[in-house]
Chains A and B, each alone.
Chain A
């Protein structure tokens, strides 16, 4: 008896100490994000002197020089897109892991990437569209469609969309859509070549129109996501406990999925399926903040764009005069880094 109470006191003390450190931690991450964003605007496959970048940024006026065009029309939108897309992927992953109580959950296993790819291929082969600007909207529709399909399949039956049914429905829909996409692409080299560019996951070639197209969705989704912390904490205790605490489990789940659909759908639409961020960042956030989703969500929201932008800057600097796609850099560098984290740090359970 005395042992349990001592344990209880200790955890709550730890909890409050965490809270007092986590607030300033968020501020520190904001500063880091600002620094990384600055790097992303000042560094790239083209070398532009710092003073020229600052001049372009300071006047916010394209003086017609290539350096100024590259800074204002290529790097600034690219950086802003990296921030909102990264944040969206990180948060979507965190929410999905919480709702499904599945440590491997990310947008990919819920059918979002497969749905987006299927619609992009449909746009290329059946409708004959070409170009990133058009793919965005098809990918968005496909991602949302796939997620709706997964959710409604998993909702069949009395107990609703349980974590296990969501995981299985996600896997089934992904497999189904991927085989259709592969089937079409195998017989249509042209579609394969178009899809290949989209499918790597890249911030290149996406300019202001794509940013302004998806940013409203992402911003709304990000703001909404901040309200899910308490509900996810309840769900993490198990459905029955959550219900016992007075939570409307089905409604929470549906709302959470709607937010994920908007966030991951718009992010995938804009940049292609960027792997890794949505899976790993929530684990890093959980490692820092412990199991409280009221902290995990904002931490994911800041950690994810930091990592995404760093990987993008690296790919641009290392590849000059060419560029490496951020999806490739993340996979190559991120995977071993994550293995190291798993190996040497004790990760919190979902």
Chain B
């Protein structure tokens, strides 16, 4: 049963490929730098190809990173609408096929019709999988990995590593990474870091905690698997490390709502993927213990760019917002 499943998939796939083999071959120009090409994936494996890939399908933030270096993918899949995805909402996506706008859902048939020669998605060390192919996605979506080699930079210890990694990938794909805009963003990032460090240094007692609330429990982020939180720690901010992360899904410590006040940071970072201006008040109404988190009660809540940053530019913008929040925060709110 298990053995024939992949075979069947390959058979189905080759039928699709032959079906659309004769359209638009004319647009395939041989790349200037023809290869052979290789790149070390976030998993540590070296991915090789006879010629440099040109037909790339990429996950949202990864696509945005490549586009910042002038590499335009032919297809994108994202975790939400491309109009609201923080990485994509300000980009011109004309001419790019949208293959999915929901987490876990990729239209692999449409993807196959694009005849990609490279799939780009972050490597998630905690899940040992690339973006879009993790445990829990539609089984059909995982078949995108059979269309072409998959590479990605690791969602490891730092957004800086992630941004540099995509610069390297773009370079290997033939991009020029010396665009003045890129240098300007890096400069902006360095200034943002300096300002952030200065603000943090003025509040030595300030602690923060990152959370994502849900109907049945409160998820408390584990910085070890959130590169942007590790960066904030390395910039001097005291981001609380939970003491009992979920062993199966170590991104969080799961707190029952009875234990919502287990950690008492002075400033609350609220999962930016669902944060709105009314989130704090809404959760206060919904969950009797939400305002038992003293920072929430005090209104010291700020959006946390959770798991989406890929570039110096975006990180600089988000850091500036956090700097403002740190400056406004009262280090005596929590414990």
Closest to A189 in B: B104
A316 proximal to B (CB < 8 A): yes
B146 proximal to A (CB < 8 A): no
Q: Among the listed A44, A45, A69, A322, which residue makes an inter-chain contact with B288, where contact means beta carbons less than 8 Å apart?
A: A69
A9 proximal to B (CB < 8 A): no
With A186-B138, A205-B215 as known contacts, state yes or no: A69 contacts B289, CB within 8 Å.
Answer: yes
A73 proximal to B (CB < 8 A): yes
A207 proximal to B (CB < 8 A): yes
A46 proximal to B (CB < 8 A): yes
Taking CB atoms, residues of chain B closer than 8 Å to A199 are none
Taking CB atoms, residues of chain A closer than 8 Å to B105 are 187-189
With A132-B215, A207-B288 as known contacts, state yes or no: A319 contacts B102, CB within 8 Å.
Answer: no
Binary CB contact string for chain B from 281 to 303 against chain A (1 if under 8 A, 0 otherwise): 00000111100100000000000
Interface range on chain A: under 10, 10 to 19, 20 to 34, or 35 or more?
20 to 34
Binary CB contact string for chain B from 244 to 276 against chain A (1 if under 8 A, 0 otherwise): 101000000111111101100000000000000
Could you pull out 11 A-B pairs where Cβ atoms are within 8 angstroms?
A44-B256, A66-B289, A131-B286, A132-B215, A187-B105, A188-B102, A189-B103, A205-B257, A316-B256, A321-B255, A323-B256
With A204-B217, A321-B244 as known contacts, state yes or no: A46 contacts B288, CB within 8 Å.
Answer: no
With A131-B215, A197-B215 as known contacts, state yes or no: A322 contacts B103, CB within 8 Å.
Answer: no
Closest to A130 in B: B215
Are B216 and A45 touching (Cβ within 8 A)? no
B91 proximal to A (CB < 8 A): no
B96 to chain A, nearest CB (A): 22
With A205-B215, A320-B256, A323-B256 as known contacts, state yes or no: A70 contacts B103, CB within 8 Å.
Answer: no
B246 to chain A, nearest CB (A): 7
Binary CB contact string for chain A from 67 to 81 against chain B (1 if under 8 A, 0 otherwise): 001100111000000
Closest to A135 in B: B215
Closest to A192 in B: B104
Taking CB atoms, residues of chain A closer than 8 Å to B138 are 186, 189
Q: A66-B261, A189-B137, A321-B254 are in contact. List 17 more A-B contacts (CB 8 A).
A: A44-B258, A46-B258, A66-B292, A69-B288, A131-B286, A132-B215, A188-B102, A188-B105, A189-B103, A190-B102, A197-B215, A204-B216, A207-B288, A316-B256, A319-B256, A322-B246, A322-B254
A40 proximal to B (CB < 8 A): no
Q: Report the interface size for chain B: residues with CB under 8 A from the other chain.
A: 26
Interface-centre pick from A132, A204, A319, A322 (highest chain B CB count, 10 A): A322
Are A321 and B262 touching (Cβ within 8 A)? yes
Closest to B246 in A: A322
Closest to B258 in A: A46
Taking CB atoms, residues of chain B closer than 8 Å to A319 are 256
Q: How far is the CA of A301 from the CA of B11 in the complex (A)?
A: 57
With A188-B102, A189-B104 as known contacts, state yes or no: A204 contacts B288, CB within 8 Å.
Answer: no
Q: Among the listed B104, B217, B258, B262, which residue makes an inter-chain contact with A74, where contact means beta carbons less than 8 Å apart?
A: B258
Interface residues in A64-103 by Cβ distance below 8 A to B read 66, 69-70, 73-75
Are B256 and A46 touching (Cβ within 8 A)? yes
Taking CB atoms, residues of chain A closer than 8 Å to B103 are 189-190
Q: Among the listed A45, A190, A325, which residue makes an inter-chain contact with B258, where contact means beta carbons less than 8 Å apart?
A: A45
List the interface of chain A (C-beta within 8 A of B): 44-46, 66, 69-70, 73-75, 131-132, 186-190, 197, 202, 204-205, 207, 316, 319-323, 325
Taking CB atoms, residues of chain B closer than 8 Å to A320 are 256, 259
Closest to A319 in B: B256
Taking CB atoms, residues of chain A closer than 8 Å to B258 are 44-46, 70, 74-75, 316, 323
Closest to A46 in B: B258
Are B289 and A205 touching (Cβ within 8 A)? no
Q: How far is the CA of A189 from the CA of B103 in the complex (A)?
A: 7
Are B256 and A204 touching (Cβ within 8 A)? yes
Interface residues in B186-202 by Cβ distance below 8 A to A read none
Q: How far is the CA of A70 from the CA of B262 in the complex (A)?
A: 13
Taking CB atoms, residues of chain B closer than 8 Å to A325 are 216
With A45-B259, A188-B102 as known contacts, state yes or no: A74 contacts B137, CB within 8 Å.
Answer: no
Closest to A70 in B: B258
Taking CB atoms, residues of chain A closer than 8 Å to B244 are 321
B219 to chain A, nearest CB (A): 10
Interface residues in B1-29 by Cβ distance below 8 A to A read none
Closest to A191 in B: B102
Taking CB atoms, residues of chain A closer than 8 Å to B289 are 66, 69-70, 73-74
Q: How far is the CA of A66 from the CA of B254 in the complex (A)?
A: 18
Are B217 and A322 touching (Cβ within 8 A)? yes
Taking CB atoms, residues of chain A closer than 8 Å to B286 are 131
Q: How far is the CA of A294 from the CA of B262 in the complex (A)?
A: 49
Taking CB atoms, residues of chain A closer than 8 Å to B262 are 321
Taking CB atoms, residues of chain B closer than 8 Å to A66 are 261, 289, 292
Closest to B286 in A: A131
Taking CB atoms, residues of chain B closer than 8 Å to A322 are 217, 246, 254-256
Q: How far is the CA of A325 from the CA of B217 in the complex (A)?
A: 11
A292 to chain B, nearest CB (A): 40
Interface-centre pick from B214, B216, B244, B254 (highest chain A CB count, 10 A): B216
Are B137 and A321 touching (Cβ within 8 A)? no
Interface residues in B81-139 by Cβ distance below 8 A to A read 102-105, 137-138
B108 to chain A, nearest CB (A): 13
B109 to chain A, nearest CB (A): 13
B262 to chain A, nearest CB (A): 6
Taking CB atoms, residues of chain B closer than 8 Å to A46 are 256, 258-259
Q: How far is the CA of A188 from the CA of B214 in the complex (A)?
A: 19
Q: How far is the CA of A41 from the CA of B256 in the complex (A)?
A: 15
Are A189 and B102 touching (Cβ within 8 A)? yes
With A189-B105, A320-B256, A321-B244 as known contacts, state yes or no: A69 contacts B215, CB within 8 Å.
Answer: no
Taking CB atoms, residues of chain B closer than 8 Å to A73 are 288-289
Taking CB atoms, residues of chain A closer than 8 Å to B292 are 66, 69
Are A321 and B256 touching (Cβ within 8 A)? yes
Taking CB atoms, residues of chain B closer than 8 Å to A202 are 216
